[in-house]
Amino acid sequence: MNETKEAVNIPECAAYLAEGYDVVVIGAGHAGVEAALASARLGMKTALFALNLDTVANMPCNPSIGGTAKGHLVREIDALGGEMAKAADKTFLQSRMLNRGKGPAVYSLRVQSDRRAYQARMKHTIELTENLDLKQAEVVHIEINEGRVEGVVTAVGAYYPAKCVIVASGTYLKGKIIIGDHSYGGGPDGCQPANELSESLKAAGVSIMRFKTGTPARVNRSTVDFSKMEVQEGDNPVVPMSFETKVPGENTEVCYLTYTNAETHRVIMDNLHRSPLYSGKIEGVGPRYCPSIEDKIVRFKDKERHQLFIEPMGANTEEMYVQGMSSSLPEDVQIKMLRTIKGLENVKMMRTAYAIEYDCCDPTQLYASLEFKEIEGLYGAGQFNGSSGYEEAAAQGLIAGINAARKLQGKDPVILDRSSSYIGTLIDDLVTKGTHEPYRMMTSRSEYRLLLRQDNADFRLTPLGHEVGLICDERYERFCNKWKAINDEVERIEKIVLPPSEKVLKYLEGHNSTPISTGARFCDLLRRPELDYVSLMELVGDEVILDSQSAEEVEILVKYSGYIERQNKQVEQFKKLEAKKLPKDINYDEISGLRLEARQKLNKLKPHSIGQASRISGVSPADISVLLVYIEQSARKE
């Protein structure tokens, strides 16, 4: 056997040689699915490994897609040619646009999904994709020689040679479920954990962190009194997630709103000593922006109540999800606190809430392409990179899949910067700043959020998706026609002037808008907050020929033109610093004038530009000045 292994270079831990692939993806959650689809669609022979094929694209927490800032990510994934938005449109139960009361920069689409329908659609899409093999197996070892990936080994000893490997392991790496004093090795939803791959990664020099997340209980619909709760209706009309969806579906379910109360808080506080969060049983770091209910009560003692949303899990199940009540308290305490909630007095719990600890990597070990700096051909994506959320995972998976394929095609990687997308912001935050807790995307993380709206994600990224090869020519032509029509309309209405006629004055009065005494430009009137494009067009007597989303785009471009211009100037300054590239082989210890902390951080993170260096914690403006002088001097010498 050893002679055979040596002849074909099979690792010692393998039993036999299996089929070879261009790209192997480990984990079939939201990151792995997008990574595998992107790689295969770009012509790479790809294998996608899942511990259990029944958990492909599983939603172990809330069965929803989108939400604040996350809706932006889904639109960007779609604009680049990813799959998440299309699956969300086909399988949603309720669709709502969040933050309508605020500006368009923070409008965020969210759908409550049919969990099993979403899974089934994604799994079938994978099965029908050319160049892509879906396999049920646990990968226990990644073979790396001389700093280069060579393949993977499964638990049964199969060795799959591979030119690139993407780790998208979610919360499965050494997963540990914790409910009160009870804990056991396991993945989400009662699945088995992946216990061996962490050691292989550590042996390869990958720095591993321990994080924690959690999920609320699921309860039986028939035991909930919805008459005591506030109804949360979906939107009408429905706005689709995907730019490709022309006829969106209809809302078939509603969600409900209720609240914790003083009795709920008393039950939690009386049993706080039994919480593994406070007893020391949980070692992993949890998400600051999605805390457990016991953490909320302790941290926000002044709040009399906390919102809870009761949401359906699917069209063919009676399970309801109690959003906002994530917990790791003992099961008996969970039942007691649930029954203090208005509408849940007689509730029956179907699945107990739990916390889960898992291994993930320090993302500062990655380039912005999501390839490991010290291991060629190895990529990380999703919660393995320290993030949280299905949308963050899918976005990273898409970029990792694209870049693994482009590496094998001999092309430069796709690097999205902060000014181009929320995806670029997400990845830059992870690889430049790192994270000490599960990272969650929020609109406040972007300096350019007025430019990075969800409505214009196609304008920003579809040309790149077409260039990469994930957007077909037909879709690209439709995109070009759409944006030509929008820009033509903005140009047209710039020339329209409305007189101070009786009709116009009556319109302005009816909208509580200041009257005009001389002719006013259409665009100047449209910039008034109380006026809108459609009603102004009716006033002019012109028919609105654009679809509703394009009409909204025209209105946003006109209303916020001044702010958009200002942010574009900020982006110009940002790009100047990003254009000042730093060689990978710089030894920062040899640059005089840099502080010790800056040298250590720069040597570790190896920033690709002055711009990225400026965002590293511990690198001061004075250090950046030293680097700028160094670059200028180096350029002169050359």
612: three-class secondary structure by DSSP: helix
Residue 634: the pLDDT is: 82
CA distances in angstroms from 7 to 1, 10, 143, 146, 344, listed in the order given: 10, 8, 16, 18, 65
- Distance between CA atoms of 484 and 546, rounded to whole angstroms? 11
Q: What is the pLDDT of residue 35?
A: 98
More reliable by pLDDT, 7 or 451 = 451
Give the pLDDT band of residue 7 (cuts 50, 70, 90): low
Question: In terms of Cα–Cα distance, which of 610, 605, 606, 602 is closest to 627?
Answer: 610
How does residue 1 score in pLDDT terms, banded at 50, 70 and 90?
very low
> What are 435-456's pLDDT values in tens digits?
999 999 999 999 999 999 999 9
Domains, the chain, in order of start with CATH, read 218-355 (2.40.30.260), 473-566 (1.10.10.1800), 580-637 (1.10.150.570)
Rounded Cα–Cα distance for residues 389 and 391 (Å): 6
Instruction: List, in order, residues 6 or more apart from 596 with CB less than 8 Å away.
Output: none
Report the relative pairing of strands 16-17 and 158-167 from DSSP bridges: parallel
Taking only the tens place, the pLDDT of each residue in 144-195 is 999 999 999 999 999 999 999 999 999 999 999 999 999 999 999 999 999 9
For residue 132, what are the β-bridge partners? 46
Averaged pLDDT of the chain: 94
Sheet holding 108-113, edge to edge: 64-66, 108-113, 92-98
Residue 221 pLDDT > 90, yes or no? yes
Give Cα separations from 634 to 67, 82, 209 (angstroms): 47, 41, 38
For residues 638 and 628, what is the distance between their CA atoms, to the nearest angstrom? 16
Nearest to 387 by CA among 422, 433, 435: 435
- Tell me the backbone φ, ψ of residue 135, rounded to 5 degrees: -130, 140
Residue 414 confidence (pLDDT) above 80: yes
pTM of the model: 0.95
Of 404, 415, 408, the closest CA to residue 378 belongs to: 404
- Other C-beta atoms within 10 Å of 232: how many? 15
Question: CA-to-CA distance for 490 and 86, rounded, in angstroms?
Answer: 29
How far, in Å, CA of 338 to CA of 617, rounded?
A: 42
User: Tens digit of pLDDT for each residue in 520-539?
Assistant: 999 999 999 999 999 999 99
Q: Identify the residue whose tokens are 């088995």.
A: 192
Give dist(CA 178, CA 167) in Å, integer. 25
Q: 340 in the Ramachandran plot: left (φ > 0), alpha (ψ -120 to 50) or beta?
A: alpha
How many angstroms separate the CA atoms of 607 and 617, rounded? 12
Residue 354 CB contacts under 8 Å (≥ 6 apart), including other chains: 177, 178, 179, 214, 215, 328
How far apart CA 291 and CA 58 sit, in angstroms, is 22
Percentage of the chain beyond pLDDT 90 is 89
pLDDT value at residue 101: 87
Percent of the chain with pLDDT over 70: 97
Q: What is the pLDDT of residues 237-282, one digit of tens each?
A: 999 999 999 999 999 999 999 999 999 999 999 999 998 877 666 6
* pLDDT in the model for residue 542: 82
The residue among 118, 586, 15 whose CA lies nearest residue 394 is: 118
Amino acid at position 504, single letter? V
Per-residue pLDDT for 21 more than 60?
yes
Residue 585's pLDDT is: 86
Cβ atoms of 41 and 14 closer than 8 Å:
no
For 452-497, how does the pLDDT look when each residue is reduced to its tens digit (9 = 90+)?
Answer: 999 999 999 999 999 999 999 999 999 999 999 999 999 999 999 9
Helix (H) or strand (E) holding 160: strand 158-167
Three-state secondary-structure class, residue 358: strand
pLDDT of residue 281: 67
- β-pairing, 182-185 vs 46-50, is unpaired
Q: DSSP of 371-420, one letter per residue?
A: BBSSSBTEEE-GGGGTB-SHHHHHHHHHHHHHHHHHHHTT-PPP---TTT
My answer on whether omega of the bond before 237 falls inside 30° of 0, hence cis, is yes
- The pLDDT value recorded for residue 285 is 73
Q: Is the pLDDT of residue 638 over 90?
A: no
Confidence of residue 2 (pLDDT cuts 50, 70, 90): very low
The reported pLDDT for the residue numbered 8 is: 57
The H or E element containing residue 356 is strand 354-361
CA nearest to 271, candidates 216, 340, 332? 332
Q: pLDDT digit string (tens) for 357-396?
A: 999 999 999 999 999 999 999 999 999 999 999 999 999 9
Which residues, in sequence order, are bridge partners of residue 312?
A: 320
The answer to whether the beta carbons of residues 437 and 288 sit under 8 Å apart is yes
**What is the per-residue DSSP string for 530-579?**
T--HHHHHHHHT----S-HHHHHHHHHHHHTHHHHHHHHHHHHHHHHHHH
What pairs with residue 631 in β-bridges? none
Tokens 């200002």 appear where? Answer: 566
